[in-house]
Amino acid sequence: MTIRLIAGLGNPGREYEHTRHNAGFWFVDELAWQWKAVWKEEKKYAGQVARVAHENGEVWLLKPDTFMNLSGKAVGALAQFYKIRPEEILVVHDELDIPCGRIRFKRGGGNGGHNGLKDIQAKLGTADFYRLRLGIGHPGDRNLVSAYVLNKPSAEDRQKIDEAVGKSLKGLPLVMAGDFEAATRFLHSHA
């Protein structure tokens, strides 16, 4: 079993580019750069798409052009067209419930109130896909969450998130090789 689709979640448009909610975009942009992949606007998948010839076969990178709460439209369309099963999908997203700069990797589970995940689960009909969760910390009050995720992190927090993205990219070969246990150990370590 290998990953055939890596979807980074975020909001399109310049005004959201550097906001916490776009951590998933930051990851796939960096990955596309490392893999020398070229983004193309694909209307039928409602997003920016890049196809990469990987040693395990073809891998699709995706940045939905819909807003966060409609992320499933893009993920579902691409997965359906290329017959990609949920367990072959990795969704990379920001996570409030994890301290800034920490990473969590898992398969399945709830959506923790994350609207992007909620929509993907609805469109795929299952929660059984992989998630790479990039910690952005929590503002401390539920009522502040929306403003918090849609604002830029402090320079210090941005550096922590960038370091988490860098570490995640180092752990990705383990994920791509299907060694999920080793990937989890590496990604969850604090070193």
Known binding residues for tRNA are: 16, 67, 69, 115
- Of 18, 21, 54, 114, the active-site residue reads 21
The string over 65-84, giving b where at least 16 C-beta atoms fall within 10 Å of a residue's C-beta and e elsewhere, is bbbbebbbbbbbbbbeeeeb
Q: How far apart are CA 79 and CA 77, in angstroms?
A: 6
Q: What are phi and psi of 3, to 5 degrees?
A: -85, 130
Residues sharing a CB contact under 8 Å with residue 86, sequence separation 6 or more, in sequence order: 79, 124, 126, 128, 129
129, 169 in Cβ contact below 8 A? no
Q: Return the DSSP state at 98.
A: S
**Binding-site residues, please?**
16, 67, 69, 115
Annotated catalytic residue 21:
yes
Active-site annotation, residues: 21
